[in-house]
Chains A and B, each alone.
Chain A
């Protein structure tokens, strides 16, 4: 029996799962609709009974590697445990069935969750003005750049149209700058892996709007000169934006506001444990200084004499970036997580994240080359310098890890390290898991020398082997039914 059929291939006319009861009002009269407004032919959707539907998705789920079943040291993604309590919390009736257009007095519980999480994020970052409107980190970046545009417009400095971005940054940074109408200019990394301060200073000027910095960087390194960097940007009249993708390393230990950061985003789906869901949803709250508060996107949760309400009409706001106030389901999960951890637990999470990363680094740095081999934060980058003589690449090591029961690390990022392998264990892993990973990585290094073909053939334990991704572009099949 072929257990790999698509739903469409199991489909048979007349089958279905969802059936409503009898109508308690007269049947719809479609003749009252305007002419030509009815569908000519029904959409071709799968027609399957409930048991086949359940089996299909249960089987699919087993073809995924997830945090719930495997170690997932995917650098830059902070694949920490996603507490199951938080999933249950999102199912609570009083949160699930609320509409943001209800009278504010009838949704005070939802608004309170919102406000309390914003307050907590202000506590973590030291930046007082917070909004959880943006749908994800990239939208948070865009929101902040638009806030910067509004700020400079208000100051009569519309000539500031350059965003400086380190070469180790995430691709979303320059892509967001483009939508904000700003020109992305790359700042080099120095020999120590940190921002090249001289290069930055040379590029700062009257046209500088924002310097976007990921700190700790995507190399897992803390920008030790961050205060000097912020001061230099401020001296040039620009604003400092911190990409908060790596906040997990420093939360509770240091606050970006104290570095001199003016704006930042947080990925609730990284730092605050909301699940990645196979690619989303996330939430990308932004936190800014008091001076920039008035420009934040709408709506904001505000407090007045009658309690909390949503304010859609702040006069200086950059506006909305999506429908509705934000991803409340994500807000709720992050709130639940922060309530469990509290101020103490937040710091302990960062401490153990950094401890686990450094432990892996010292266990692996004699076998795999670590270009910046010193104390790291929550992640570190190694590469295949010692393995490439055997014709082995980062992708081969990643695929072999799958066969050994782990999700691979991030590979080929950041771009500043060739053949990069970026490892982020997170704080929720225990020492035994890290030791098992180390054993497997050392075993793989041996295989690189002794049986490299085993790596080239990997993975062999998965439902499919390495896929012909070129063919997917050359001969695209993107839809089952659409010919």
Chain B
């Protein structure tokens, strides 16, 4: 049997030691009528080489983004330095458990301490945890946390520019609470219009920048308005953009969350990635998730251990700050290796390349007859909405025919959106040739339309 090392002789010897005659006797503690009478409904097993053939066949049914893709919408195709796979892939990291035994887990603990430091720096905050599941659930946890900071406030204001999955996730997490969720609409310029919505009943205000439509929000204004109302301000970030753009800490936010996928994690159908969660020191005891702290051993040597564990479910049970236990540690390790490989200069370079490609594409696409950039005035980072003369789905079919993956037809995922709106993403991996092919493809579409 795969992965079982005991031989028949071993089993016989062990059964004798236990004092039972057969394996079946070990299972007599399960009432007979509750044991299966026939094999369960799962296919027969296969050998490793058969498995490999099956997996490569299944993988070949997928069309990969490596051929050129303009699909982002929260999940981006960035270059992953080979050191990330080589180092994260070490079995000592991959097959260790949560570092509850610190002396036997200093590798993981040091890596998380450094991770926390890098995330806090990136976000411009004072403290970060050792990861959440992903960006969307991190937003939901941040909103729940806000209710322990403010008192008796009943309203949560979410920007309509949050990723639609994030808004859905927040609604699910808040479903059992009395909190009212109010969605602040996107204004004509593509930025969130919070006017009149943030008041003394508001516990949390959540904004994402760049928002789902690629538009850079006026973060400082949102943070200031929340602060004035006594609400907790929460920013959701795209970490790569922070190589260039203002950090939420600089803008005055209380909590910063985001999805770490862009920091060295493959898209892989959207998971696993990791969530980042950073805040101010004053809120550390209200923070969800695991936190690593520095301390010393009996000989005064520096060491690291999980700390503030009395916040967590295994100790506090129903009064814990969150139910999170397993997190996305190994993906956070990828993020740490990526950030260390990039350093401040590398991160800035990646961000600048993303912006350069998007600006190059935007200029050419905006010049095509029939196409426009509805939110151009507000400013974008690496992603923007292109309003097409035909439904975005049709445009995507043309891009597909040109051998690449199109953008997101926004109306497929955001109720009420214009069906002509196409969300296009560009990264350092997008080539000039791909952009030119995109422009050519769309220009032939625009000609067809104008002739028609």
Which of these, B2, B63, B318, B343, contacts A106 with CB under 8 Å? B63
Which residues of A have CB within 8 Å of B133? 135-136, 139, 280-281, 322
Query: Are B130 and A95 in contact, CB atoms less than 8 angstroms apart?
Result: no
CA distance A259 to B293 in the complex (A): 44
Label chain A's interface by main secondary structure: loop
A-B contact count (CB 8 A): 730
Residue B247, interface by CB 8 Å:
yes
Interface check B329, CB cutoff 8 A: yes
State whether A341 touches B45 (Cβ < 8 A). yes
Partner pick for B165 among A44, A180, A323, A413, CB 8 A cutoff:
A323
Is the CB of A455 closer than 8 A to any CB of chain B?
no
Q: Are B342 and A17 in contact (CB under 8 A)?
A: yes
- B268 in contact with A354 (CB, 8 Å): no
Determine the distance from Cα of A48 to Cα of B73 in the docked complex, in whole angstroms.
32
| Inter-chain contact B284/A476, CB cutoff 8 Å | yes
Determine the residue in chain A with the shortest Cβ distance to B327. A280
Interface residues as binary, B181-223 with A (CB distance below 8 Å gives 1, 0 otherwise): 0000000000000000000000000000000000010111000
In the complex, chain A residues whose CB is within 8 Å of the CB of B19: 362
Do A325 and B269 have beta carbons less than 8 Å apart?
A: yes
Within 8 A of B (CB), among A47-74: 47-48, 50, 53-54, 56-69, 72, 74
Having A27-B356, A279-B327, one finds 7 other A-B pairs with CB under 8 Å, namely A18-B350, A66-B95, A103-B400, A109-B57, A377-B29, A402-B103, A468-B295
**Cross-chain contact A478 with B116 (CB below 8 angstroms):** yes
CA distance A399 to B103 in the complex (A): 8
Is A203 close to B, CB under 8 A? Answer: no
**Are B103 and A467 closer than 8 Å at their CB atoms?**
yes
B319 near A178 with CB under 8 A, answer yes
Instruction: Kindly state the separation between the CA atoms of A408 and B382 in the bound complex, as whole angstroms.
Output: 48
A40: which of B246, B313, B431 is its contact (CB, 8 Å)? B246
CB closest chain-A residue, reference B94? A275
Whether A108 touches B355, Cβ cut-off 8 Å, given contacts A171-B315, A355-B23, A428-B5, is no
The verdict on A18 contacting B271 (CB below 8 Å), with A67-B95, A254-B35 known, is no
Residues of A within 8 A of B355 (CB): 28, 30
Q: Which of A31-39, A231-239, A285-293, A385-393 participates in binding chain B?
A: A31-39
Query: How many residues of chain B are within 8 Å of chain A by beta carbon?
Result: 208
Contact partner of A62 (CB less than 8 A), chosen from B18, B92, B268, B432, is: B92
Interface range, A side: 35 or more
Quick check: A23 and B292 within 8 Å, CB to CB? Answer: no
Within 8 A of A (CB), among B343-391: 343-350, 352-353, 355-357, 359-360, 378-379
Neighbour of A327 across the interface among B34, B113, B144, B271, CB < 8 A: B271
CA distance A269 to B97 in the complex (A): 10
Q: Is residue B58 contacting chain A, with contact meaning CB distance below 8 A? A: yes
B92 touches A68 (CB 8 A): yes
Q: Kindly list chain A residues whose C-beta atoms are within 8 Å of the C-beta of B163.
A: 323
Interface residue B77 (Cβ < 8 Å from any Cβ of A): yes
Task: Tell me whether A324 and B95 are in contact (CB under 8 A).
Answer: no
Which residues of A lie under 8 Å from residue B229 when comparing CB positions?
none
Q: Judge if A82 is at the interface, Cβ distance under 8 Å.
A: yes
Q: Is A166 an interface residue (CB 8 A)?
A: no
Collect the chain B residues with CB atoms within 8 Å of residue A198's CB. none
Contact code string A329-352 (vs B, CB < 8 Å = 1, else 0): 110000010111111111111011
Binary per-residue interface labels of chain B (293-321) against chain A in the complex, 1 for a CB within 8 Å, 0 otherwise:
11111110111110110001111111110
